[in-house]
Structure 1
Amino acid sequence: MAPHDALLGWDEDTTAEAYAEFTRKFPMYGATSSDLAHRAELTSSRLVVDLCGGAGATAQAILELVPASAQVISVDNAAAMQRVGRRIVSDPRLTWVTAAAEDLADHVPSGADAVVCNSAVWKTQVPQVLAAVHRVLRPGGRFVFNIGGGFAGVRHPDEVNTRTGPSLNALILQVAADDYGYIPPAVPQSSPKLSLDVITKQLANAGLTLLSTEVTAQHSTMAEKKAWLSIPVFARPAGGFTHTQRMDILNKAYVATTPDTPTVTSWLVVLAQRPW
């Protein structure tokens, strides 16, 4: 069977538990969430939305910055992720709403000071989400989100300069080919799914003003990359593999690396605003 769908696969208990364990053990989601929350300037906020909030890693970062009287609403369409999140993040200021990102404005009151979305906007119907964000934000309210470097077509210099050997993804494909006769499907050369030019136009069409962008680098290790690829929705390669087979391939590929080998992931960070 094919890998878990990037949307439907999240609403599975095994994925939710594995993801939550990863966020507790490794810094990637905590660090990116903290970065976005600080960019949103939340110190005087009254209402903040954590969009595609999953198990609450970003909500935690938001809660650390907003006033004691603020309200935070975490919106995600995966009930399994939110079940785990409710167990981990306990704060009376936090409300969980199970809904699609595109339906944000139907579930959240208008007048939000900020909407924060970590590692997920490219999985949505982006024009619809941007229109919903515009409806929810107060004039002057901020929308802060990031786009994975591969989806945005950007690479931080650190990602290029840190490479010391084949990536874990490349090793996975090699093991799959050697042990399982895997032939990767031919993928035609295409433009990035959500480049800066595309997102700039879509923000403008939604009535949002682009304030700034930055390509950032998230530094981690091969051990963290392996743990991330062990989460069912991220397990590779695609094709007719069971999850057990994918973990066998991952473990064999990982043997060809060392746990402390540095890895770098690039992100395009975008700050937009509803005009005054």
Structure 2
Amino acid sequence: MTPQDAVLGWDEDTNAEAYAAFTRAHPMYDITSRDLARRARLDDARLVVDLCGGAGATARAILDLVPARARVVSVDNAAAMQRVGRRTLTDPRLSWVTAPAEQLDDHIPSGGADAVVCNSAIWKTDTLRIFNAVAHVLRPGGLFAFNIGGGFAGVRHPDAQLAPEGPSLNTLIRQVAARDHGYTPPPAVAGQLPKLPLATVTGQLAAAGLSVLDTEVTAQHSTMAEKKAWLSVPVFARPEGDFTHAQRMEILDAAYALTTPETPTVTSWLVVVAHRPPRTS
């Protein structure tokens, strides 16, 4: 069953517009999209799937790399996100399918895709179902490139250890919320394991008939200013709990005032490239 938070908030126009505006103004999603598209080896692709494609940031990167004759299909469950994408990305090679990612194989021909790319969303899906669906739609030898946030994968890039010391913006948000609103953060669970460590991912991929070709822990370099812009998107806003968006923005502004805008920040990612093994004669 798909987790309840899989599309919570995404199918709202306010979130979709704010998210799309962030992707246009800041490089984070463009950089990660281009990295995955490059790893998917799209030079000779005829059909590529942008899985959990949202408003089209990753589709744009894919379209820059595929041949002129190729088709790209962006699959996402949030119609509001796709409405923004349809308005801003009008390449005739791109089509949109509004459906849960887990139902990918209901919309793509069996063995018809040369590659599937999923940026910044795989951990919000039922990965067992996703991997089986991807295996069904990939041609033999086809590639599946996706990434997992470092916290979900339990990885940390060395650059993150070299980042300037001091509290993160998320930590400052919780501190301001506690000081000004009596907020009590949820208790940390001792010994809590990452949701999608590489061993789990590799096992699930193998169970679906997919083999891992390459993995890498990468670093996304940003600033406090970009982090603030990201946390201003309603669906990303903090802290958790019974706050209005206006209250969260007030807390965010107070927390951000305690930082230096150009302070570097580093986000870690686990990048995985798998494939459907070619047929053997």
- What TM-score comes out, normalization by structure 1 length? 0.97
How far does residue 8 in structure 1 lie from its aligned partner after superposition?
Answer: 2.0
CA distance in 2, matches of 1:7, 1:176: 26
Pick from 220, 223, 239: which aligns with 1:221? Answer: 223
CA distance in 1, matches of 2:256, 2:188: 25
Correspondence 1:196-275 to 2 at 5 A: 196-275=198-277
**Higher relative contact order, structure no. (Cα contacts within 8 Å, ≥ 6 residues apart):** 1
Alignment length, in residue pairs?
273
How far does residue 198 in structure 1 lie from its aligned partner after superposition?
Answer: 0.5
Q: Secondary structure at the match of 1:10?
A: coil
CA distance in 2, matches of 1:181, 1:274: 52
How far does residue 274 in structure 1 lie from its aligned partner after superposition?
Answer: 0.2
How far does residue 165 in structure 1 lie from its aligned partner after superposition?
Answer: 1.5
Partner of 2:64: 64
How far does residue 259 in structure 1 lie from its aligned partner after superposition?
Answer: 1.2
Correspondence 1:1-276 to 2 at 5 A: 5-110=5-110, 111-189=112-190, 190-276=192-278
CA distance in 1, matches of 2:164, 2:207: 38
How far does residue 5 in structure 1 lie from its aligned partner after superposition?
Answer: 4.0
**Cα contact 2:49–2:116 (8 A) shared by 1:** yes
Q: Secondary structure at the match of 1:9?
A: coil
> Counterpart of 2:159 in structure 1: which amino acid?
D
> Counterpart of 1:26 in structure 2: which amino acid?
H
The 1:128–1:6 alpha-carbon spacing in structure 2 relative to 1, beyond 3 Å, is closer
> Counterpart of 1:14 in structure 2: which amino acid?
T
> Counterpart of 1:148 in structure 2: which amino acid?
G
CA distance in 2, matches of 1:185, 1:65: 44
**Cα contact 2:5–2:124 (8 A) shared by 1:** no
Q: Which string of whole-angstrom CA distances, capped at 9 and with x for unpartnered residues, describes residues 134-178 of structure 1?
A: 000000000000000000000001111113321101100100000
Segments of structure 2 that go 5 or more residues without pairing to the other structure are: none
How far does residue 52 in structure 1 lie from its aligned partner after superposition?
Answer: 0.1
Aligned structure 1 segments of 4 or more residues deviating by more than 4 angstroms: none
CA distance in 1, matches of 2:78, 2:126: 16
CA distance in 1, matches of 2:212, 2:6: 27
Q: Which string of whole-angstrom CA distances, capped at 9 and with x for unpartnered residues, describes residues 40-86 of structure 1?
A: 00011000000000000000000000000000000000000000001
**Cα contact 1:5–1:233 (8 A) shared by 2:** no
- What TM-score comes out, normalization by structure 2 length? 0.96
Q: Which string of whole-angstrom CA distances, capped at 9 and with x for unpartnered residues, describes residues 210-268 of structure 1?
A: 11100000001111000000111111111111111111100000000111111110000
How far does residue 6 in structure 1 lie from its aligned partner after superposition?
Answer: 4.7
> Counterpart of 1:233 in structure 2: which amino acid?
V
Q: Secondary structure at the match of 2:203?
A: helix
Q: Secondary structure at the match of 2:217?
A: strand
Q: Which string of whole-angstrom CA distances, capped at 9 and with x for unpartnered residues, describes residues 108-130 of structure 1?
A: 12320000000000000000000
